[in-house]
Structure 1
């Protein structure tokens, strides 16, 4: 039987090859794709608003008579059409127009138009509104429906997409959409079938509860939201299934390397660390690949846990790869692992994009021949030329900075190319539980939720930049008592070049004002070796103050630093600010974080800085961040193509996450349904599971 999936969009009236190409940019190839190209909001065009009552920013329908039509020759030529009704007047302005339009909108014509009110040269204006000349009467109150608004791409306008979706709805009589969810599930949650839900969302019938549709809480929308979240969950379980279908080398805890390592540490493991080490030890002993995410707040000791996992692999004669997203963080791991593992007789290799020439060839050879037991580096480890002799464990730090593809690419480098390596993913960005359950459904999760003893809470102070002089004096005072400080410059919306320049200017200014202090500068444009040298001087106490961009966000450990100043904190996400704050509070003394903002602060900005002042708990802060900024920002996945939902909204729909997690395993037993749901909702994006 023909399904809507098999009917190409070119079957629709008015869709030729050019339009089909434009629609393909929206991942629309079939009539079914068009039906699942869902409106992301609605406009209420059911009533005409008097022009005299409009305010800037209103989105409204107005109706009136054309008073005059002028061709205005400004910087850009425009057609200015002045409309009036009994209450006032309004200008429609068109920058793109033709002679036919000009003639149609002649003086005396009756026009109904829809747009957003903006301030203009001639009073309130609508730019390029949708309009009708000699419009039919408005529908009666009981018959009016909301107008859907669809996501667009260049080359296609809203009315065109709306018309195509209406055409596609006509196919539902003959070809209903296949419902893959069990009927009893729909009954339990009192949700409509898929065909009914799709029809209602595209074309809400007259009298539909407007507030529910606008908020995305109508049962038809919720039916689709649930299915979309389920499709994402299934796609990640499929990734997990694909990886775990491959065998892994069981790494049994043998030899005394872990014990010797723990003996040389100057501190004891916390209860939380011991618990996570036990989880990992258990996973690594299995013949299926471990897939574990370890979340731990700043300074909770994830690196020690990673080192113990590496030693278990080395005890079984295998190799380990440790990958970090930035040179600084990778370098930090390399130094830590050198200090810890070299005394135990372990050989390390350092591979980053900056390692060139002979040093690179030697490192590659050492890894390929198995002489280097641990390879540490940046995404340079993904490259084809990096060959391992016996890779059995991959440790990835700050996974959300890499695309899913990159993490999966490393699995091809396992022992003999056939055994998949175990994967340990670490993050110091606490991920809200709801998000972890969805974004990392392919991973088991462990949390290190206990800080090492002796850590002092960090006092967070929020001040306007008009208090800059006081803050400079505070830095002088701290450094004169033998402490060290960070000064972080942020210019996130600007280019990296401007950010580096801002840090350079700040470093010069502080050098003039604090001539008695030794000041260093670190930013993204410095050569890797120069960055490492400056960091080493700061760590050894040779520098008093380090001016930096956000490159120091993760992994920099200087126990003597007790003060951090962050300029323009309103430009950063909460998780990032929490990470920066975690650069201090690593020693015995009281530590302070000063957030120096530029007034006025938006309500959003106030809420974020308040959350940071109120709490040291990374998970609480991450929940707040999710509330304020949404999942794409929190996970850093705007770039990776993950979690880009059509209808679901993480904050609004988090109530579905538990039920969806429970439904998914049962559905995994029906591969045909899983394939169909993933294709329906993720389309081409699903390829990330097959890297």
Structure 2
């Protein structure tokens, strides 16, 4: 191939024969038979052959070409083109034979296909039909589908025999009745005419299961090896409890059973001479911060430091206020380091961090900048960790190692927290390098939020409801999903909504927050809302991870059908934080798609973040749920965590066995599927 084609392929990670073997089809086209036009069904792709009966060019709103095709079944199919050249129009002369493939849908004059793939046939002789299903590969910009198919075909012609290719133990394949890798690849790329097309399209064909198993195994091994290499480092054991006990007794509330259990797990980890790597997940308001504070006390008790990093200044400041309220009465010094701490104040904080005077340091990613040197960092706590790249987590860890990361380095223990509950299947896969704890119990006194779904025609009622709530001294949120009005997406924009509600609700005080505002403006508006200087906050989803405003008791989410379950659940968690009865209104635009209806129903039926997360994984897949920065899970080529969850226990068992008995084989499996991506972290 030429250098330009090679460059485009390399940009998509296709540089070796193996990369081409693993570039798998996303669907299949059946060109092995001709379907009569009268037997076509809407939504079912098919191949048709017929003659051109009429051609019409139009320019009503934009250029359009319509071609009527008829066949022996005396039925007519319309082909519609919006992008076409004069040469194409000339091809469609009356009476020309055309073979085409596409998905019909109802049109003005019976069924029609928009932009089918087609070829004009010679008058003489028969044209052979395909002998196998045609694979359709993910598009690569600048490379036509036929070229890509041909290149992958060349690569498949060079597949070695089973002995050179196979990495999975034979007894495992036989037990699960799975084909060899060679058979699986050939089946997936070149399925025979009698292949089970439904199983292939659903991803449940034995050939795909074979590939999914090996891919899941590779990701699992990659993370487990990182875990093992991390455990090779040393950390100083933190065992003494008096200060943590003192804090627990001084708290104005009792810990829940779940908080006690999770703290016991953390305490057991911190007592070891190897670094703790623990993820604590729990719903908004489940009390993760207090567990982190108790852990920090073990570091302080040993004369060492703890750092807590959060993704936004507002969230970090919320942690700062809580920690100061709890820890300063115990004589613990809590320092604040964020982007807005500048000049002399910054210099003073940096000195306190460097000489150990600051025992607990709270901040944003400013904690990881050059010039921040800890005297003796023993515990690194990262909140909402999926919002940070893994490299950022590494950078904070390395602050505690004084920049040294060899096997002899003393590194801090790590505690990462998330308010996005992660389904068990996803945690098993995405966090195989971490121990996972769940705070699955809300503190007493938290009133469940009543959730209702309303059509947007009932907006006027909601405006009145806000007026009533604010008259009673409560506050409300109105969340929009876009910043500016858009012609393409029908959604009320925050700016327009802010202007309308300011008028309709005068003299109530209305504020606006969205992602395009300067950070300072955003912080000031959020702070004014928190301090009760605003009655209603109109916002985009930037408040998803946000401040604690116990007085806010009404949440309205506009165009709720456009958001994922995890996001809806996070937004709902902004209310119900005080003792007053709270409500969340999901405002939707009809008609609802089946997927949107399922999401809104789930929100109405449950408040359990873990149930919601499982449903979200089922509906949306892992990529959106975790964010691709976490592990590249969204880049799975074959595996689907919701569909292939039943393989995970087997993957874990096999992974542990291979690491113990065949580390070289484990290395080859990781290299095949994950390659250089395995280097993204030992964080």
On whether the aligned pair clears a TM of 0.5, the verdict is yes
Q: Which of 673, 677, 683 lines up with 1:685 in the alignment?
A: 677
Give the distance between the partners of 1:456 and 1:362, measured in 2 at CA.
Answer: 43
What SS does the aligned partner of 1:49 have? coil
Bigger drift between 533-542 and 470-479 goes to 533-542
- Residue 106 of structure 1, CA deviation: 6.4
Post-superposition offset of 1:596: 1.9
Instruction: Name structure 1 gaps, 5 residues minimum.
Output: 1-14
- 1:549–1:108 CA distance, 2 compared to 1 (3 A): closer
Task: Give the Å deviation of 1:232.
Answer: 1.2
CA distance in 2, matches of 1:144, 1:348: 72
Separation in 1, partners of 2:414, 2:485? 36
Residue in 2 that maps onto 1:203 = 190
* Match of residue 115, structure 2, among 101, 121, 127: 127
- 1:465–1:66 CA distance, 2 compared to 1 (3 A): closer
Q: Deviations over 1:448-467 (max 9, x none)?
A: 11111122221112112222
Q: Pairwise mapping of residues 505-516 of structure 1 onto structure 2 (< 5 A)?
A: 505-516=496-507
C-alpha distance in structure 1 between counterparts of 2:37 and 2:45, whole Å: 12
Q: Whole-Å Cα distance in 1 between the matches of residues 528 and 50 of structure 2? A: 73
1:194 aligns with 2:181: yes
Aligned counterpart for 2:383 among listed residues 383, 397, 401: 397
Q: Tell me the residue number matched to 1:19.
A: 5
1:566 matches 2:557: yes
Match of 2:380, SS state, is strand
Query: Which secondary structure does the structure 1 equivalent of 2:165 belong to?
Result: coil
Structure 1 segment 141-160 matched on structure 2, within 5 A: 144-160=131-147
Give the 3-state SS of the residue equivalent to 2:138 in structure 1: coil
Shift of 1:438: 0.8
* 1:245 aligned residue (232, 238, 262): 232
CA contact (8 A) 2:483 2:494 kept: no
SS at match of 1:416: coil
Which of 655, 661, 666 is residue 657 of structure 2 equivalent to? 666
Shift of 1:325: 1.8
Q: Distance in 2 between matches of 1:183 and 1:59?
A: 39
From 295, 300, 315, the equivalent of 2:281 is: 295
1:342 maps to 328
Q: Verify the 8 A CA contact 2:137 2:145 in the aligned structure 1.
A: yes
Change (3 A) 1:78 1:107: same
* Cα deviation 1:343-371 (Å, max 9, x = unaligned): 32333333333444444344334323333
Shift of 1:304: 0.3
Distance 1:115 1:492, change over 3 A: farther
Please give the alpha-carbon distance, in whole angstroms, between the structure 1 residues aligned to 2:564 and 2:89.
49
Listed as ranges, the gaps of 5+ residues in structure 2 are 404-408
Question: What's the CA shift string for 1:493-552, capped at 9, x where partnerless?
Answer: 989xx9999434434433333335344443334554554444444344444333333232
8 Å CA contact 1:177–1:195 kept in 2: the answer is: no
Question: What residue number does 1:625 align with?
Answer: 616
8 Å CA contact 1:631–1:650 kept in 2: the answer is yes
CA displacement at 1:75 relative to structure 2: 9.4
Please list the CA deviations of residues 241-294 of structure 1 after superposition, one character each: whole Å capped at 9, or x if unmatched. Answer: 22222112222225x321232233110111111111111111112111111011
1:320 aligned counterpart, secondary structure: strand
Displacement of 1:653 in angstroms is 1.3
Query: Are 1:500 and 1:525, in contact at CA under 8 Å, matched by a contact in 2?
Result: no
Cross-structure match for 1:113: 100
Pair 1:470-2:461 in alignment? yes
Quickly say closer, same or farther: Cα 1:252–1:130, change in 2 above 3 A. farther
Q: Deviations over 1:292-311 (max 9, x none)?
A: 01111221101100111111
**Does structure 2 conserve the Cα–Cα contact (< 8 Å) formed by 1:51 and 1:90?**
no
The SS at the match of 2:585 is: strand
Contact 1:26/1:152, CA 8 A, preserved across alignment:
no
2:247 to 250, 253, 261: 261
C-alpha distance in 2, partners of 1:466/1:96? 42
CA distance in 1 between counterparts of 2:480 and 2:115 reads 39
1:682 CA drift (Å):
2.0
Is the CA contact (8 Å cut-off) linking 2:553 and 2:580 kept in structure 1? Answer: yes
For normalisation by structure 1, the TM-score amounts to 0.88
Contact 2:162 2:182 in 1 (8 A): no
Q: Distance in 1 between matches of 2:565 and 2:353?
A: 39
Task: Give SS of 1:668's match.
Answer: helix
User: Partners in 2 of 1:406 and 1:652 — Cα distance?
Assistant: 32
The answer to whether the 8 Å contact 1:294/1:445 transfers is yes
Q: Say how many residue pairs are matched.
A: 670
CA contact (8 A) 2:100 2:116 kept: no
Cα displacement (A) at 1:50: 2.6
Distance between the aligned counterparts of 1:462 and 1:103, measured in 2?
54
Map of 1:10 onto structure 2: none
Moved more, 344-353 or 198-207: 344-353
Q: Does 1:386 align with 2:372?
A: yes
Which of 125-134 and 378-387 deviates more? 125-134
Check the 8 A contact 2:281/2:418 in 1, yes or no: yes
What SS is found at the alignment partner of 1:172? Answer: coil
- Whole-angstrom distance in 2 between the partners of 1:95 and 1:304: 60
Task: Specify which of 465, 471, 475 is matched with residue 480 of structure 1.
Answer: 471
Aligned to 1:503: 494
* C-alpha displacement of 1:95: 4.6
What is the aligned counterpart of 2:419 among 409, 425, 428? 428
Cα distance change, pair 458–204 in 1 and its aligned pair in 2 (3 A): same
- Structure-1 residue corresponding to 2:398: 412
C-alpha separation in 2, matches of 1:94 and 1:479:
52
Shift of 1:690: 5.6
Give me the whole-angstrom Cα distance separating, in 1, the residues matched to 2:254 and 2:66: 76
Whether contact under 8 Å (2:184, 2:208) holds in the other structure is yes
Q: For residue 107 of structure 1, report the CA deviation from its aligned partner.
A: 6.2
In the alignment, which residue of structure 2 is the partner of 1:310?
A: 296
SS of the counterpart of 1:643? helix
The answer as to 2:77 corresponding to 1:85 is: no
What RMSD, in angstroms, separates the aligned Cα atoms of the two structures? 3.2
- Within 1, Cα distance between the matches of 2:543 and 2:95? 66
